[in-house]
Amino acid sequence: MPIETWLTFLLGFMILGSIVALEIKDILSSIVAIGVVGLAVSLAFLFLQAPDLAVVQFLFEIFALIILVRAFIRKDFHVMERASSGRWIIGFTLIGLAAVFLLSLKVFRVLPPFGEPLMETSRYYLEHGAADTGAANIVAGIILDYRAYDTLGEVTVLLTAILGTLTVLRFRARDGKGGGR
């Protein structure tokens, strides 16, 4: 089977899973459905020849699942009786989003077709990456050598997000020994 068929199937599955996750009443089922969507994304990365991303997406999906379950699933948690807005708002939102979808279909025709990327910078990376960086994994060569500054910014964003989380949760390192102010 050509790769387009697989990817179409996977994307349809993802859309279905997302709708289920958003519309189902039970929160635990909702979170699990999101986990399934994330694993489908990981599978799609595998089909798209991106094993780096598949590994990372798989692991992060498991971790996100654990975080969400840890945060939101309680014994005394009750299902919300009206989780959605009113019927009018939903109707208008659906119409608006459908209009956006139909109007933007033309944009995708302008983009380079699937399977034929432009690869202007990447051609250089692929040809000279191994000699320039000495890394067999060209993706690692890009994120940690050619574009390491970008990665520094990413580490900073991660630090900020985690510090924000710890601050919001009033977390303190409580065993003395430095830290924990």
Partner 1 sequence: MTLYALCFALFLVGLYGLLTKRDLIKIILSSGIMGYACNLMLVLFGYRRGGVYPILERGREAGPMVDPLPQALVLTSIVIELGVTALLAALAIRLFQKYRTYDITKIRRLSG
Partner 2 sequence: MTDKPAGMTLIIKTVCRLLVGLILLYGIYIILHGHLSPGGGFGGGVVLALGLLAVLLAYGREETLKWLRLGLLKDLEHASPLVFLLIGLAGTAWGGAFLANILSKGRLFALLSSGLILPLNVVIGLKVGLSLFLVVLAMAEFDLDKGAEE
Site residues for partner 2, 137-156, by CB under 8 A, read 137, 139-141, 143-145, 148-149, 151-152, 155-156
112 near partner 2, judged by CB under 8 A = no
99 near partner 1, judged by CB under 8 A = no
Binding-site partner at residue 174 among partner 2, partner 1, none, CB < 5 to 8 Å by type: partner 2
145 close to 131: Cβ distance less than 8 angstroms: no
Binding-site partner at residue 26 among partner 2, partner 1, none, CB < 5 to 8 Å by type: none
Distance between CA atoms of residues 95 and 88, nearest Å: 11
Distances (CA, A) of 44 to 15, 40, 47, 169: 13, 6, 5, 35
What does the per-residue mask of binding to partner 1 show for 104-143, with x meaning CB under 8 A?
xx--xx-xxxxxxx-x-xx--xx--xx-----xxxx--xx
Q: How far apart are the first and last CA of the chain?
A: 58
What does the per-residue mask of binding to partner 1 show for 31-50, with x meaning CB under 8 A?
x--x--xx--x--xx--xxx
What does the per-residue mask of binding to partner 2 show for 10-49, with x meaning CB under 8 A?
----------------------------------------
Calculate the dihedral angle through the C-alpha atoms of 57, 58, 63, 66, rounding to the nearest 10 degrees.
130
Calculate the dihedral angle through the C-alpha atoms of 136, 137, 139, 142, rounding to the nearest 10 degrees.
-30
Tell which one of 67, 73, 83, 97 touches partner 2 (CB under 8 A). 67
- 5: enclosing H helix or E strand: helix 3-23
Two tokens, residue 177: 């020994």
Tell which one of 26, 72, 128, 172 touches partner 1 (CB under 8 A). 72
Distances (CA, A) of 176 to 4, 80, 167, 173, 180: 56, 41, 18, 7, 7
What does the per-residue mask of binding to partner 2 show for 71-100, with x meaning CB under 8 A?
x--x--------------------------
Q: Which is nearer to partner 2, 113 or 179 (CB)?
A: 179
